[in-house]
Amino acid sequence: ELSLELSMSLITLQLGQCGNQIGFEVFDALFRDSHCPHGLCCKRENEEYQASCKERFFSEEEHGVPMARAVLVDMEPKVINQTLSKAAQSGRWKYDQHSCFCQKQGSGNNWAYGYSVHGPRHEESIMNLIQKEVEKCDSLSGFFIIMSMAGGTGSGLGTFITQNLQDQYSEALKMNQIIWPYGTGEVIVQNYNSILTLSHLYRSSDALLIHENDTIHKICAKLMNIKQISFSDLNQVLAHQLGSVFQPAYSEEGSFYYRRNPLGDLMESLVPHPEFKMLSVRNIPQMSENSLAYSTFTWTGLLKHLRQMLISNAKMEEGMDWHVRPPLSRLPTIGKVSVKKEINFNTSIANLVILRGKDVHSADLGGFKDPALYTSWLKPVDAFNVWKTQRAFSKYEKSAALVSNSQFLVKPLDMIVDKAWNMFASKAYIHQYTKFGIEEEDFLDSFTLLEQ
């Protein structure tokens, strides 16, 4: 039979409370999907899917319980303890107890403390743990770093570690999964922490996969119909989105085996130019299990919605603006075109559509190949890719994920820079950062980079 490797491996770094809480949900979602009986494909296909998923995210253990390929880091112990025990309790998979690094006192929501104090202090220990995980891999695709921007550990220490990975593992790819905080009501200094994170990571990470809490919250409220939304709910939606991207997939050419390089493949499709590396994920359909039982979908319908979500920069299929259309500047003018529709249009640099499920080969992706969707410096054939996989994902008979490199983040980023700038101008909270070696100059550097 085939003697090729099943898949290159992905090591996940879970940083801070957010990173660890999400990380757990991601591994859980990946595992449950790979063992889901409703794969809608033949047995051999399913087994290959499972094996590929396993090689990618889990390592083998003597007693047969798969161990997540993960390093858990936090500056206080409660969350990691919880995460370890939740995984162990499930009985299905677990974390390696030795792949955890914990301190006692947190980072105080202070980027400077995470970056300048915790970073150097614990560099050796953390990099050692990462090295041990790397050694467990036959072949390493790269690192997936889960962190929030708003706090102190994920943001500050996360940035520091990413830079270290760049130095120590220059051949491996790094994708940072960044959680964009709620516009209001999480951490007061979140805008400072965010600009410091983004400006530094832009230089050291290969791709930034961004999820906004406000967006996921709306998905929970409107699509999933959850009344009292908890962080657990948010994290599960996120895990679902990530799973639909990272689970094994075939490429369009219909090869005989699943794609091997999770990060490499994504990077190749989505980051043609290092200056533009912020990615978003859209997933369709998304709904509560109850509703799922009563719904059927066609690929045409799903893809039509997905395309409109892209160009109108909507994050979910409900309530989007169907009036937004791509600019018609390349076609002969037929009467006046409304300027507003063009202003709201979301131009893409690159798009990747991942389809999973029944009759996937019949899906027509013509709508995504329209040159009007893309910037002028890339041809659609280079800017657009599609992966089709028959094996269904997580109980959805048909599901589509769109990973996009587009203008989507310009407005939210602008808002954050605005607020941070206003606060910086009055010098509020700056003493908390200079205390740990982040000077006003560093702030200015960050602002400069982001304004560009």
Partner 1 sequence: MVGGASAGRRTVPDPGPRRCIMTQSVVLQVGQCGNQIGCCFWDLALREHAAVNRAILIDMEEGVVNEILQGPLRDVFDNKQLITDISGSGNNWAVGHKAFGSLYQEQILEKLRKSAEHCDCLQCFFIIHSMGGGTGSGLGTFLLKLLEDEFPEVYRFVTSVYPSGEDDVITSPYNSILAMKELNEHADCVLPIDNQSLFDIVSKIDLMVNSGKLGTTVKPKSIVTSSAGVHKRRQEKPFDAMNNIVANLLLNLTSSARFEGSLNMDLNEISMNLVPFPQLHYLVSSLTPLYTLADVNIPPRRLDQMFSDAFSKDYQLIRADPKHNLYLACALMVRGNVQISDLRRNIERLKPSLQFVSWNQEGWKTSLCSVPPVGHSHSLLALANNTCVKPTFMELKERFMRLYKKKAHLHHYLQVEGMEESCFTEAVSSLSTLIQEYNQLDATKSMPVQGLPRLRIAV
Binding stretches for partner 1 (CB under 8 A) = 17, 21, 76-82, 84-85, 97-98, 100-106, 108-110, 121-122, 124-125, 128-129, 152, 182-189, 217, 220-221, 227-232, 234, 417-419, 421-423, 425-429, 431-432, 444, 447-448, 451-452
> CB-wise, 121 or 361, nearer to partner 1?
121
User: Of 232 and 295, which has the nearer Cβ to partner 1?
Assistant: 232
Nearer to partner 1, 42 or 221 (CB): 221
What are the distances in angstroms from CA 185 to CA 18, 189, 191, 213, 230?
Answer: 15, 11, 12, 11, 15
Report the alpha-carbon distance of residue 415 to residue 111 in Å, rounded. Answer: 19
Q: Which is nearer to partner 1, 61 or 268 (CB)?
A: 61
In Å, the largest CA–CA distance within the chain is 71
Residue 123 CB, shortest distance to partner 1, in Å, is 10
Q: How far apart are CA 239 and CA 87, in angstroms?
A: 15
42 vs 444, beta carbon nearer partner 1 = 444
Cβ proximity to partner 1: between 16 and 39 the closer is 16
Nearer to partner 1, 151 or 262 (CB): 151
Burial status of residue 93 (CB atoms within 10 A of its CB: 0-12, 13-18, 19 or more): buried
Q: Which of 140, 405, 133 is nearest to 260 (CA)?
A: 140
The β-bridge partners of 356 are 389, 399
Cβ 169 to partner 1 shortest distance, Å:
17
Q: How far is the CB of 246 from partner 1 (least distance, A)?
A: 24
CB of 263 to partner 1, least distance (A): 26
Question: Which of 69, 305 has the CB closer to partner 1?
Answer: 69
- For the CB of residue 12, give the shortest distance to partner 1 in the complex, in Å: 18
Q: Which CA distances in Å does 179 have to 198, 341, 393, 411?
A: 11, 30, 24, 16
In this structure, how many other beta carbons lie within 10 angstroms of the beta carbon of residue 26? 26
Q: How far is the CB of 138 from partner 1 (least distance, A)?
A: 23
Question: Minimum distance from CB of 383 to partner 1 (Å)?
Answer: 24
Q: In angstroms, give the least distance from the CB of 423 to partner 1.
A: 5
Q: Are 210 and 409 in contact (CB under 8 A)?
A: yes
- Distance in Å, CB of 133 to partner 1, minimum: 12
- β-bridge pairing 207-212 and 278-284: parallel
Nearer to partner 1, 3 or 89 (CB): 89
95: which residues sit within 8 A by CB, 6+ positions away? 67, 68, 70, 72, 83, 84, 87, 88
Nearer to partner 1, 292 or 444 (CB): 444
Least Å distance, CB 321 to partner 1, is 23
* 1: CB partners within 8 A, 6+ apart: none
